[in-house]
Amino acid sequence: MNWSHVKLIFHREVRDQLRDRRTMFTICILPLLLYPLMGMVMMQVAQFHREQHVSIAVYGYENWPSDQPLMDEVVDRQQIRWKKIPAESELFAGLDPSQIKSPVDSAVSSDPTIANSQIDSLTAEKLLKQVEADVIVWVPKGYQESITANPIVVVSNQRWERSQLAIRLLADRLDEWHRNWVRTRLSSSEIGTSIVDPPRIEQIDLARPEMKRAIVWSKILPFVMLVWALTGAFYPAIDLCAGEKERGTLETLLCSPARRKEIVWGKLLTVMCFSICTAMLNLASMHTTASIVMSRFSNLGAIDMVSALGPLPLHSMGWLILLVIPISAMFSALALAVASLARSTKEGQYYLMPLLLIGMPLVMLPMIPGVLLSPGTSIVPVTGAVLMSRALMDGEYAHALLHLPTVTTVTILCCLLAVRWAIRQFESENVMFRDSERSSMSQWIRNVWRQREDIPTANESILCGLLILVCLFFGRLSLGGMPLSWASIVQSTFVIQLGMILAPALIMATVLTKSVRKAIRLHAPRPMDLLIVGCLAFCLHPTYAAFAQAVGNEYKLGDQTTSMLMQFDTILGTVPVWSVILVLAVLPAICEEFAFRGFLFAGLQRDNGQLRAILITAVLFGLSHGVLQQTITASIMGLLLGWISIRTGGVACTVLFHVLHNSISLLLATQSSRGTMPPAWLGWAMESNHGHLAYTSMWCTLSAGMAAILVAWLATRAPTVAISQPANSFPKNVTGVTSNS
């Protein structure tokens, strides 16, 4: 890699972007103008809001206890405009308020008999409009005698925001009135008024106000930062890739001495530079404006808001600024990869939303109350970085330092993966030089059929994976209501495994490829491979169990899930072992392997995409397990299975591994619920621990070592030249004129 090329390209691109007025406006001018303007609008709206009054109509006020009036004057100090409806009002003549009922949610129940007996809610709504009130209050006859005998009927329409506000204000008012009423009654008796006083609290808060502010900001700002880092990265990225393709300048650069890798790095640095600038400018502008606006509010008496959103301490600002770098780096690389995929700037714009949707959950996660920096959260990209910056702002340096290696590694790894993707895009002729599609839909379908190969394409594989996930989502939802019994477990396992995992893969393999066997990578394995993989399944299980345990400790299962799993194990304990193994170990192993290490893997490992195949199938395999904890452990297991399947050339060995692994897990789980002890001859490996079967620590250590040896053995064995070999998208040696002769 020639860094002087990277530097030259970087300098040129930055200069080019700086000369582009549109980019400069979005990136530099807009943030400086946006927040002051937004602040101005907010001030206006706040004023408007304060001046708003709600009107409450009261019918039958003459029945109100006269010694304790509800309304002081016509316009209340609490924004309430009272409206007394005279008793002789024609509108209310003959209306019985008890006949007015809230309409029933038609989505929940639709019983026509209820509606008929009531006064139509439309009539009541018309009444509200006629008296020009947001809420009507009916005071029943004889209310002054007993305020508890009959309820006051309050008719509102919660569809209107003013009506919502009116109800709130009315409730407060009635509450206050009631307290005073009680006080008056008590003061005239012997008990005295002190009895109704609530216990007094003197609150001492140890948090410094500016630190509390920092935490509030640290929840809001990462989100703002994400949006702007992505926007700041996205527009230059589109201009630098799709835009250059459109203008024809990319080819000029491609035939220059700069290599594709160098071009990508040069462009990436440019995009990152603008992304960071945009995010920083936005941060600064938003922070300054908010501080100024808040200080205005403090003059107006809104102390709470000022203490929550006032200016940040300088060092907290520093940590936030530091956070910009990993977020920008990650999204710049992603934006560049996505932008290089686009043929034109117009096509590029379409990709912004999906990218934003990927990024959103990652910044939303730290906003959930109670999510803190921990080994579990630190491995989530972006989330880990956000949580770490919060820990740093909070002054917990030791804690942050502890997770620094994980967060940094994850961030760098993600960036490198995205960069690798971008470079691959630049090296791919299909992506760089593809024209807009000329053919019609029917022609395309005919062609897909005619051009079928032995194995699916990468796109078909990814589509299959997504199809499986969607099927699983709806399948699990519809099967969710079933009672937990062995019959229902068998039924749902069959439906899910055969119908939602195996069927999409098999159908796609039949329709889209010439050879189903090759498409699902079914092959005759070498006996030695089977032996090694079989032993590996046994030796790796203790380590895997320990890992699953650790994951379970880190990400606690909900109480409901835990109790369901317990029930599950109990049910399994009551049925024959062979049927449990058959239904829950063999069937899922075959279906999942045929789908994930078979059809999905076959398409994804084309064109030297082994790493891509391992990563994507592992993630999809993980996601196909419904529970988060299982998703994590299954993803890791997916990585291993993917690697095994590359080393052994197909799915046979991974099916074996999967069957054995599932069987051992099931046996361990059900044996403990059956209450049986481990057989004496297994004493060296198993022990009973509080009624649960567990591995002895000796066997745990020993097995890990053996597993390592087996993995090394498998890694050094000559690879099988089987279906695993990636086929090129089109044959290397095109049969030309000469081969005819």
Partner 1 sequence: MDFVQVQNLCKSYPDAAMGEFKALDNISFVARAGEVFGLLGPNGAGKTTALRILATILQPTSGTVRVFNYDVTTQADFVRHSIGFVSNNTAIYDRMSAWELVEYFGRLYALPDDRLYPRMEKIFRKLQMEEFRDCPGVKMSTGMKQKVSIARALIHDPPVLIFDEASLGLDVMVARALQSIVMDLRDQGKCIIYSTHIMREVERLCDRVAIVYKGRILDTGTLADLSDRHEQTDFEELFFKLLSQGDEPRSPMDIRLDLERLNAANIAALKAVN
Handedness of CA 437, 441, 442, 444 (dihedral sign): positive
Based on the shown chain and the rule CB under 8 A, indicate whether residue 734 belongs to the binding site for partner 1: yes
Closer residue to partner 1 (CB): 298 or 729: 729
Closer residue to partner 1 (CB): 6 or 637: 6
Question: Least distance in Å: CB of 437 to partner 1?
Answer: 6
Based on the shown chain and the rule CB under 8 A, indicate whether residue 357 belongs to the binding site for partner 1: no
Helices 628-648, 527-554: axis angle to 10 degrees equals 160
Closer residue to partner 1 (CB): 107 or 441: 441
Based on the shown chain and the rule CB under 8 A, indicate whether residue 733 belongs to the binding site for partner 1: yes
70: its two tokens: 């509800």
Closer residue to partner 1 (CB): 409 or 451: 451
Based on the shown chain and the rule CB under 8 A, indicate whether residue 4 belongs to the binding site for partner 1: yes
Closer residue to partner 1 (CB): 260 or 476: 260
Question: Least distance in Å: CB of 714 to partner 1?
Answer: 33
* Residue span binding partner 1 (CB under 8 A) among the ranges 4-12, 220-228, 375-383, 415-423: 4-12
Closer residue to partner 1 (CB): 62 or 607: 607
With CA atoms as reference, report the closest residue to 365 among 377, 356, 357.
Answer: 377
Neighbours of 574 (CB within 10 A): 12
Angle at 634 between CA 633 and CA 640, to 5 degrees: 100
117, 188, 442, 741: residue in contact with partner 1 (rule CB under 8 A): 741
Closer residue to partner 1 (CB): 690 or 732: 732
429, 576, 690, 691: residue in contact with partner 1 (rule CB under 8 A): 429
Based on the shown chain and the rule CB under 8 A, indicate whether residue 730 belongs to the binding site for partner 1: yes
249: its two tokens: 């300048």
| Residues of this chain, 193-252, that bind partner 1 according to CB under 8 A | 247-249, 251-252
Write the DSSP string, 282-298: HHHHHHHHHHHHHHHHH
The Cα-based distances of 375 to 330, 402, 695 in angstroms read: 21, 9, 25
Based on the shown chain and the rule CB under 8 A, indicate whether residue 736 belongs to the binding site for partner 1: yes
* Residue span binding partner 1 (CB under 8 A) among the ranges 11-19, 65-73, 269-277, 388-396: 11-19
Based on the shown chain and the rule CB under 8 A, indicate whether residue 19 belongs to the binding site for partner 1: yes
DSSP state of 524: -
Closer residue to partner 1 (CB): 257 or 576: 257
Question: Least distance in Å: CB of 263 to partner 1?
Answer: 10
Closer residue to partner 1 (CB): 248 or 576: 248
Closer residue to partner 1 (CB): 458 or 536: 458
Based on the shown chain and the rule CB under 8 A, indicate whether residue 463 belongs to the binding site for partner 1: no
| Residues of this chain, 252-311, that bind partner 1 according to CB under 8 A | 252, 254-259
List Cβ neighbours of 281 (8 Å cut-off, separation of 6 or more). Answer: 27, 28, 31, 32
- Which amino acid belongs to residue 121? S
| Residues of this chain, 432-451, that bind partner 1 according to CB under 8 A | 433, 437-439, 443-444, 447, 450-451
Surface-to-core class of residue 572, CB atoms within 10 Å of its CB (0-12 exposed, 13-18 middle, 19+ buried): buried
56 conformational bin, left if phi > 0, alpha if psi -120 to 50, beta if neither? beta
Question: Least distance in Å: CB of 512 to partner 1?
Answer: 14
Based on the shown chain and the rule CB under 8 A, indicate whether residue 1 belongs to the binding site for partner 1: no
Q: Are 531 and 660 in contact, with CB atoms under 8 Å apart?
A: no
383 HSE (CA, 13 A, CB side): 20
Question: Least distance in Å: CB of 265 to partner 1?
Answer: 14
Largest CA distance in the chain: 121
Question: Least distance in Å: CB of 322 to partner 1?
Answer: 33
Handedness of CA 459, 463, 465, 466 (dihedral sign): positive
* Distance in angstroms (rounded) separating the CA atoms of residues 723 and 733: 19
* Residue span binding partner 1 (CB under 8 A) among the ranges 1-9, 340-348, 380-388, 487-495: 1-9
With CA atoms as reference, report the closest residue to 17 among 28, 6, 7, 5.
Answer: 28
SS3 248: coil
* Residue span binding partner 1 (CB under 8 A) among the ranges 143-151, 566-574, 575-583, 733-741: 733-741
* Residue span binding partner 1 (CB under 8 A) among the ranges 195-203, 278-286, 314-322, 430-438: 430-438
Note the residue count of the chain: 741
Q: Are 600 and 465 in contact, with CB atoms under 8 Å apart?
A: yes
Closer residue to partner 1 (CB): 195 or 255: 255
Based on the shown chain and the rule CB under 8 A, indicate whether residue 8 belongs to the binding site for partner 1: yes
Closer residue to partner 1 (CB): 327 or 423: 423
Question: Least distance in Å: CB of 736 to partner 1?
Answer: 4
Q: Are 395 and 414 in contact, with CB atoms under 8 Å apart?
A: no
Closer residue to partner 1 (CB): 250 or 536: 250
| Residues of this chain, 27-66, that bind partner 1 according to CB under 8 A | none
Q: Are 307 and 396 in contact, with CB atoms under 8 Å apart?
A: no
What are the helix (H) ranges across 365-502?
375-378, 383-393, 397-427, 429-433, 441-450, 458-479, 486-494
Question: Least distance in Å: CB of 266 to partner 1?
Answer: 10
| Residues of this chain, 690-729, that bind partner 1 according to CB under 8 A | 729
196 HSE (CA, 13 A, CB side): 14
* Distance in angstroms (rounded) separating the CA atoms of residues 186 and 176: 15
Determine the size of the site formed for partner 1 (CB under 8 A).
40
- Which amino acid belongs to residue 667? L
Closer residue to partner 1 (CB): 403 or 424: 424
* Distance in angstroms (rounded) separating the CA atoms of residues 527 and 715: 16
- The residues that touch partner 1, with contacts defined as CB under 8 A, are 4-5, 8, 12, 15-16, 19-20, 247-249, 251-252, 254-259, 429-430, 433, 437-439, 443-444, 447, 450-451, 729-730, 732-734, 736-738, 740-741
